[in-house]
């Protein structure tokens, strides 16, 4: 889980919204998720990510990418592809992915 809030990005950029429900015994999921969170940082054009999971419920991860090329590079990563296959075979009950081009964003920070 990331406790870091991604802010202050300059449009245009892309959000990849990944929402999921896990199966009840998703053994090994946490380790692989942690590894992917490290691996994605090596992708040129990766800008950050955020992740929250309500205990026992829905998980939402948002990845931020500079352009389509960065998203394609992450999709093409072989270790990532292996983790995705494993996820479909063992860990995920459902998931959805929504890839959006961001033209507008804003931030608030308490003084």
What residues line the site for a copy of itself (CB under 8 A)? Answer: 1-7, 9, 14-15, 17, 19-21, 23, 50-55, 57-60, 62, 64, 88, 92-110
Nearer to a copy of itself, 41 or 60 (CB): 60
Q: Which of 46, 45, 76, 58 is nearest to 18 (CA)?
A: 58
**Of the two residues 77 and 95, which places its CB atom closer to a copy of itself in the complex?**
95
What contacts 53, CB < 8 A, 6 or more positions away?
Answer: 1, 59, 60
CB of 35 to a copy of itself, least distance (A): 19
- Smallest gap from Cβ 90 to a copy of itself, in A, equals 10
Query: What is the rounded CA–CA span in Å between residue 92 and residue 56?
Result: 13
Pairing of strands 46-53, 59-65: antiparallel
* Separation of alpha carbons 54 and 61, rounded Å: 12
User: Which CB atom, from 5 or from 76, has the smaller least distance to a copy of itself?
Assistant: 5
CB of 21 to a copy of itself, least distance (A): 6
């Amino acid at each position: 889980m990331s406790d870091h809030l991604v802010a202050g990005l300059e449009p245009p950029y892309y959000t990849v919204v990944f929402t999921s429900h896990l199966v009840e015994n998703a053994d090994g999921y946490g380790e692989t998720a942690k590894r992917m969170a490290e691996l994605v940082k090596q992708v040129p054009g990766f800008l950050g990510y955020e992740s929250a999971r309500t205990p026992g419920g829905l998980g939402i991860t948002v990845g931020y990418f500079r352009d389509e090329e960065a998203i394609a590079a992450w999709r093409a990563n072989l270790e990532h592809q292996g983790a995705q296959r494993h996820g479909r075979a063992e860990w995920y009950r459902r998931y959805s992915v929504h890839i959006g081009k961001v033209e507008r964003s804003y931030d608030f920070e308490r003084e």
